[in-house]
Amino acid sequence: MFDPRGSDLSADPAYLSLGSNLGERESAVLGVARTLETSGIGRCVRLSSLYETDPVGCPAMDVFINAVVEFESLLCPVDLLKRLKAMEKRMGRRGGRNEPRELDIDILTMGKTLVDTEDLVVPHPRYRERAFVLIPLRELAPRFRCPATGLGIDELIDALPERHGVVRVSGRKTIHV
């Protein structure tokens, strides 16, 4: 098992899920991609289109803007998590889990690295169940394979019970997925 406090990391691509359902949603999500590098967290390689998505776990909330960012970082997973949580707070996050929030950043994967601690699990334990993560991830990495299961992105999407509620709103014309 990988020691999450170690420093022997390669610069394998990692993926973050970004979301916001309060305030300037688009600006919050786009701001993360710009802030990764300026804050010393890593380098943004690519950002998916923005997707408007139904909330999961609390249907009374406003809809989210979500995206996935591919990035490179030499930080160990625990340090990365600390820096991302600090970024969320600086960018206005006040809400907790399953509450409306200005910004939510989740570590989806870090190359082939597997982490399972009390504070952090990588790959993210629920990303394979979320269309709002998998659909933008497929846009960036159509050959992506889950480091924990070996399943390809299309297999993960096909296994979703529902895929509705994810609408691409940036880039080209709006496309219902």
- In the residue annotation, 138 being an active-site residue is answered as no
Q: Which residue in the list 93, 130, 138, 168 is annotated as catalytic?
A: 93
Domain ranges of the chain: 14-171
Q: Which of 25, 83, 104, 130 is catalytic?
A: 104
8 a catalytic residue: no
Q: Check: CB of residue 100 under 8 Å from CB of residue 61.
A: yes
Q: What are the tens digits of pLDDT across the range 12-68?
A: 689 999 999 888 999 989 988 888 888 888 888 999 999 998 887 666 578 889 999
Superfamily for domain range 14-171? 7,8-Dihydro-6-hydroxymethylpterin-pyrophosphokinase HPPK (3.30.70.560)
Catalytic residue among 25, 83, 101, 128: 101
pLDDT at 1 over 50: no
Q: What is the pLDDT of residue 38?
A: 86
Catalytic, 101? Answer yes
- What six digits make up the tokens of 173? 């014309």
Q: Is 104 a catalytic residue?
A: yes
- Rounded to the nearest integer, the mean pLDDT of the chain is 83
Q: Which amino acid is at 76?
A: C
Q: Which of 8, 54, 62, 106 is an active site residue?
A: 106
| CA-wise closest residue to 157 among 127, 123, 131, 132 | 131
Query: What would the pLDDT profile of 64-85 be if each residue is shown by its tens digit?
Result: 899 999 999 889 999 999 999 8
Q: Are 67 and 50 in contact (CB under 8 A)?
A: yes
